[in-house]
Every structure is written in structure tokens, then in C-alpha cells.
């Protein structure tokens, strides 16, 4: 167990954690504002990956297809919000969870029909292929870009929520929906825009992932569990917490795979179960 | 009316129909019907939590898998007998359900759903990682149907073996839901804030509901292991917990026999639409959305309202007082 190997593995962990963040941010925002746990969130993440694959095949430009697939995923998420999820804001939370679960199944299967059962991936563009490093510890430009981008998104979301006028409306609905309505804020418009933002960020994550890991059926089922773990440990609806815990879970899972390969996935689930038992409102939660 | 209890009558009719199936001697029908009974038990156990106590669990597959794995390990390593293995599988689920229930049931609603998901995945991780005992992702093979005490190796014998457990459990569980314990369970589901006013602890009611539900899920898992002869950790993955959930929702969660109806419809559909089996989750997803948005009562609810519409039509006035108590 050398220091170099430890550092390299930690970088891999941060890289993995960045993807959990792209997933967790939307889940957390959507829950915070609309009180809906979006089971379909990972399905939108995977959808972003597939769309990236298609757009890249057509346009040939990495950056352009990244933007296109992010926006398209956001629009598809908004479509489901307007047509289905909007009807269930007032009912029993159990049924809200079930509805998003149904949407997850539908989106997953439609992907299988559209893109087939085989994993898809796109190749990284030439200018992102190099490595940068000190001594034996090195990281590819691409991983570095993903880590930096996740940090950038974190700052951006934080600033927008806390400092913009739209963010003020979101926080108003977040705190007290009825009071916000008195001040002529349309909560449903806020809900729809939050859904767009959340699913678009999930789509961005999926689009970034498809360049190094193939995206295929079953990936969403696996990722949603990790996203839940992150969001729940952080405390539902907490953005800062979601970012810290995403990176932490990424680190733990990648170090566990390296040091204790026999029990690696057990560790993450055990941490989740332990935190939920001892502090169900999450480490960063309020209440 | 002369029929005292509609549900017991329906169970009796169902069992009689199920008794006819082995007479056809068709191995395919026997296979499908066996599967139907196993899934029915699984869905019935799930509805105890979902329909009666109003708890949404995404980790119910852990009890199914526990029953299956303990039965498999017991018959392979300790004593080659299906019946004893089955009893071992069911017995093992009791302490597990007590432990998990004790840990998770303090939380309700969304937290309970996510907590059961985490524990279910923990069980899955153990089954995958503990290779020397559970066989890892390869699972366990060669679970015997022919044992030292009981030999049920012919399809008909095994069918009757499942049918016996199916009949006993459906009737026993129904009588349980009608007992005062079952009444408390319904009271909890209807209004958990008011239950403490009657002097009962909601936690205790939830705990025994959870344990009984776990026992029946383990029973169905054990039957499944002996029936298939092969098990893999897929039956512990969280998506497998969604199957009884969809059956319950589709059949009608507020009716005792709703999950059985749901299991029947789903298994019939998958068999008929075998060509589309690849995409049948799409069908499930659409069904879940339709049930949540449109008709919470599921198929049983639709049948009951259809019955009421017919009853209230003109010319049927002497049936006006007739009520379906299911």
C-alpha cells in the first residue's frame, strides 16, 4: 500500500463521486422543493448517456452533443412532470413514489427498445485524451475535467439558489408553499423549472459518463440505489451535503474496491444503513 | 345471503379449480400454475405490509431470498429433504424479520422505503460476496426434490405439495386478518395517529405485521427454491421486490385476494405475451402509472364497481341490498 497508489485510487474515487453528484443534486433539489422522491432519476441519467451517443453520431462534436443531450433530457423530464407528476403533488407520498417508479420502468424499457440491449459508448475527443501528473500519480484530462465540472456545477447551483431572484422564489416555495402563493409566486412553475434543472443535470452526468463507461440496461437500477444512499446520508434537500457525501461515497467505494475487494459493496450499504438508523434526517439535515 | 364469507368462498372455488389442473397431466400448465401459487403467496405477504399496514417496502425480496437460500443450503449441506429444508428456511426468517423490523420500523413512509431498500441491498451484497457459502453470482444448484423423508420428484406430487401450503396459508392468513390482531393492523393502516389512543403501540403492531409478512415471503422463497432446483442472487436484488408490489397494485391492494388476482393476471400475460417478454417491464410500468393516476382499487376495485353498476340497474331492484364483502 504505497502513497502513490493511495492517491491514484482517491482520484478515481473523486471521479466516481462526481457522477454520484450529478445524480444526487437533482434528486435532492426535486425532493427539497416538491417533496417527491424521484425514483426515475437514474433512468434520466442513463437516458442522457444514450442521447449523447445519438447526438455524437450525428453531429460529431463532443461539446455540442453534450449541450444538446443535457437540454433534451431536461425537456423529457419536464414532459413527465407536466403530464403525470403534476397530478400527484397532493396525494399520499407512497403513491408519489410508486408513480415515479412506474415512470422509471417505462423510461428504461423505451431505452431498450430505442437503443437495443447492448451497452453504448462514445470515444473521447482527441484534445481530452492526455494525462497530467506528478511522479507516479497521474490523472487523465477527461477525469480532471469531470471533477472540475462537478465542482463548477456545485458552485453554480449554490449561487443560483441562494443569490438569484429565481432562487429566491425556489427557496420561498421550499419553505412554505402557501405563503409563497400569497406573494404571487406560482409554485407549479417553480416545480416545473426545478424538474427541468434536476433532470438536465442528471442528463449531463449521463452524457459525461458515456465517454468512459458504456451505458446499458440495468445501469439505472444500480445507480439509483447509490443516489438514494448519497441523498439520504446527506439529508434530503441539502445541496452542500449532497456534494460532500457524493465525493465521500465515491472515495469510500473506490478505496474499498482496492483495499477490501471481498466486501467492497457491503461497506457502502452498511454506512447507509448505519446513518439512516442513527440519524434518519441525514448528517447535514435540519430537523 | 347464504354465503357467510365471500372471501372464504372464493378461496374454496380457487382451490377446487387448482385441484383440477394436475388432472390434465399437461406439464406446462402444472409448471405455470405452480409458479402462480408461489408468486401469489409472495404478493399476499407483501400486501400485508402495503395494503393493511400502509408500509411501502422495497426490500421484501430479502425474505424471499433468505427462505430460498436457507432451504437450499440446508438441503445441500445438512439433510437432503425438501420438507425439513422448507421448515428451516421459514424458521430462519423469523429472527431476521425481527431484527430488520426492529431496526427499520421506527421510521415510516419514505424513510422506511429507502431503509428497506438499503437493507435489501445489504442482503444482496452478502449473497454475492460470500462466495464460499452462497456460490456468489453463480448461485446454488441441485436443490433436491427427492429427500430422505419426503419424495416429491414428480411434477404432480410437487404441485400438490405447493397447493397444500397455498391453501393453508391463504385460509390461515385470511382468518388472521379477521382476528383482533388483524383488526389492529387495519387500524394502523387507516390512521396511525389515532391507534395509540386505543392503548396499543403502533410499533408493536407494525413489528408483528412485518414478521408475519416476512415468514410468508420466506415460505414462498423456499417453495421457489425447491421448485426451480437452482437459485441465483437475482432474487435478492431490489427490482425483484417490485414484482409483488406491481401484482398487489394491479390486483387491488385494499382487497384480501387482490394480490392473488394480480399474480394471476401478470403470469397469464407474461405467458401469453412470451414473444414480448423482453419488454414486459414496459407493460408493468404503464400498469403502475395507470393504477396510481386512475384507479387505486386495481382490477378487483374495477370488478366491484362494475358489480355495483349492474346491481343498481333497473329491473334488478330485489338485489339492491346485496353487497360484495371482499
Q: What is the DSSP string of B206-225?
A: HHHHHHHHHHHHHHHHHHHH
Decide: B297 and B81 in contact? Cβ < 8 Å.
no
pLDDT class for B275, splitting at 50, 70, 90?
Answer: low
A162, HSE (Cβ side, Cα atoms, 13 Å): 9
Average pLDDT over residues B193-204: 86
User: Where is B281: in which H helix or E strand?
Assistant: helix B280-293
Distance from C-alpha of A279 to C-alpha of B260, rounded to nearest angstrom: 38
Segment A185-200, tens digit of pLDDT: 898 999 999 999 999 9
| In-domain check, residue B312 | no
Of B149, B139, B163, nearest in space to B68 by CA? B139
Residue B318: pLDDT over 70 = no
Q: Which residues of B touch A110 (CB under 8 A)?
A: 282
Beta-carbon separation of A228 and B129 below 8 A? no
- Residue B195 C-alpha cell reads as 391507534
| In-domain check, residue B190 | yes
| In-domain check, residue B284 | no
Domain count along chain B: 1
pLDDT class for A287, splitting at 50, 70, 90?
Answer: very low
Beta-carbon separation of A266 and B293 below 8 A? no
A27-31, A128-132, B160-164: lowest mean pLDDT where? A128-132
Beta-carbon separation of B281 and A276 below 8 A? no
Average pLDDT over all residues of chain A: 87
User: What is the value of ipTM here, to two decimals?
Assistant: 0.82
CB neighbours of residue B137 within 10 Å: 12
Instruction: State which residues form the domain around B176.
Output: 6-238
Segment A188-232, tens digit of pLDDT: 999 999 999 999 999 999 998 888 888 877 788 888 888 888 888
Domain ranges (residues) in chain A: 31-140+188-217, 218-287
Q: What is the percent of chain A with per-residue pLDDT over 70, rounded to a whole number?
A: 99
Decide: B51 and B59 in contact? Cβ < 8 Å.
no
How far off is chain B from A165, nearest CA to CA, in Å?
31
Of B163, B168, B141, B121, nearest in space to B75 by CA? B141
Beta-carbon separation of A95 and B113 below 8 A? no
Is B179 strand, coil or helix? coil
Give me the long-range contacts of B290-295 (CB less than 8 A, separation at least 24): B291/A98, B291/B249, B291/B250, B292/A88, B292/A95, B292/A98, B292/A99, B292/A102, B292/B249, B293/A84, B293/A87, B293/A88, B293/A99
Check CB contact of B128 with chain A, cutoff 8 Å.
Answer: yes
Amino acid at each position: 500500500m504505497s502513497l502513490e497508489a493511495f492517491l491514484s485510487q482517491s482520484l478515481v474515487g473523486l471521479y466516481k463521486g462526481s457522477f454520484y453528484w450529478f445524480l444526487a443534486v437533482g434528486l435532492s433539489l426535486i425532493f427539497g422543493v416538491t417533496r417527491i422522491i424521484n425514483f426515475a432519476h437514474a433512468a434520466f441519467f442513463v437516458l442522457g448517456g444514450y442521447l449523447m451517443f445519438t447526438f455524437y453520431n450525428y453531429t460529431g462534436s463532443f461539446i455540442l452533443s453534450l449541450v444538446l443531450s443535457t437540454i433534451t433530457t431536461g425537456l423529457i423530464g419536464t414532459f413527465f412532470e407536466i403530464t403525470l407528476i403534476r397530478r400527484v403533488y397532493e396525494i399520499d407520498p407512497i403513491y408519489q413514489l410508486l408513480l415515479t417508479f412506474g415512470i422509471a420502468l417505462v423510461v428504461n424499457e423505451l431505452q431498450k427498445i430505442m437503443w437495443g440491449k447492448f451497452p453504448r459508448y462514445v470515444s473521447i475527443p482527441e484534445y481530452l485524451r492526455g494525462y497530467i501528473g506528478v511522479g507516479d500519480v497521474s490523472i487523465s484530462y477527461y477525469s480532471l475535467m469531470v471533477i472540475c465540472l462537478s465542482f463548477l456545477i456545485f458552485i453554480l447551483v449554490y449561487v443560483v439558489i441562494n443569490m438569484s431572484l429565481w432562487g429566491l422564489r425556489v427557496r420561498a416555495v421550499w419553505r412554505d408553499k402557501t405563503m409563497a402563493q400569497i406573494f404571487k409566486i406560482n409554485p407549479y412553475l417553480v416545480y416545473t423549472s426545478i424538474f427541468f434543472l434536476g433532470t438536465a443535470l442528471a442528463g449531463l452526468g449521463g452524457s459525461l459518463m458515456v465517454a468512459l463507461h458504456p451505458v446499458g440496461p440495468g445501469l439505472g437500477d444500480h445507480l439509483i440505489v447509490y443516489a438514494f444512499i448519497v441523498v439520504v446520508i446527506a439529508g434530503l434537500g441539502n445541496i452542500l451535503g449532497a456534494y460532500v457525501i457524493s465525493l465521500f461515497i465515491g472515495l469510500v467505494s473506490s478505496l474499498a474496491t482496492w483495499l477490501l475487494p471481498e466486501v467492497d459493496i457491503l461497506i457502502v450499504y452498511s454506512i447507509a444503513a448505519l446513518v439512516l438508523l442513527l440519524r434518519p434526517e441525514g448528517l447535514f439535515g435540519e430537523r | 345471503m347464504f354465503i357467510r364469507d365471500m372471501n372464504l368462498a372464493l378461496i374454496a372455488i380457487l382451490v377446487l379449480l387448482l385441484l383440477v389442473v394436475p388432472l390434465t397431466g399437461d406439464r406446462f400448465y402444472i409448471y405455470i400454475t405452480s409458479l402462480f401459487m408461489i408468486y401469489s403467496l409472495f404478493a399476499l405477504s407483501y400486501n400485508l405490509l402495503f395494503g393493511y399496514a400502509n408500509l411501502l417496502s422495497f426490500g421484501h425480496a430479502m425474505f424471499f431470498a433468505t427462505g430460498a437460500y436457507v432451504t437450499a443450503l440446508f438441503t445441500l449441506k445438512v439433510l437432503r429433504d425438501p420438507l425439513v429444508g422448507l421448515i428451516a428456511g421459514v424458521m430462519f426468517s423469523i429472527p431476521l424479520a425481527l431484527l430488520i423490523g426492529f431496526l427499520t420500523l421506527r421510521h415510516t413512509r419514505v424513510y422506511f422505503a429507502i431503509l428497506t431498500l438499503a437493507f435489501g441491498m445489504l442482503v444482496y451484497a452478502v449473497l454475492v460476496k460470500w462466495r464460499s457459502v452462497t456460490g456468489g453470482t453463480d448461485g446454488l444448484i441441485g436443490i433436491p426434490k427427492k429427500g430422505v423423508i419426503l419424495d416429491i420428484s414428480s411434477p404432480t406430487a410437487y404441485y400438490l405439495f405447493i397447493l397444500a401450503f397455498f391453501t393453508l396459508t391463504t385460509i390461515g392468513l385470511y382468518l388472521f386478518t379477521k382476528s383482533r390482531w388483524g383488526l389492529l393492523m387495519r387500524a394502523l393502516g387507516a390512521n396511525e395517529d389515532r391507534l395509540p389512543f386505543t392503548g396499543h403501540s403502533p410499533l408493536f403492531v407494525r413489528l408483528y405485521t412485518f414478521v408475519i409478512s416476512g415468514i410468508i415471503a420466506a415460505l414462498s422463497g423456499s417453495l421457489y427454491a425447491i421448485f426451480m432446483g437452482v437459485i441465483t442472487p437475482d432474487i435478492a436484488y431490489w427490482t425483484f421486490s417490485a414484482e409483488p408490489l406491481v401484482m398487489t397494485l394491479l390486483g387491488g391492494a385494499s382487497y384480501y385476494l387482490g394480490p392473488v388476482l394480480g399474480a394471476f393476471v401478470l403470469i397469464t400475460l407474461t405467458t401469453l405475451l412470451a414473444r414480448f417478454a423482453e419488454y414486459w417491464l414496459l407493460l408493468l410500468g404503464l400498469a403502475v402509472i395507470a393504477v396510481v393516476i386512475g384507479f387505486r382499487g386495481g382490477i378487483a376495485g374495477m370488478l366491484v364497481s362494475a358489480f355495483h353498476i349492474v346491481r343498481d340497474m333497473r329491473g334488478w331492484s330485489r338485489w339492491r341490498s346485496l353487497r360484495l364483502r371482499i
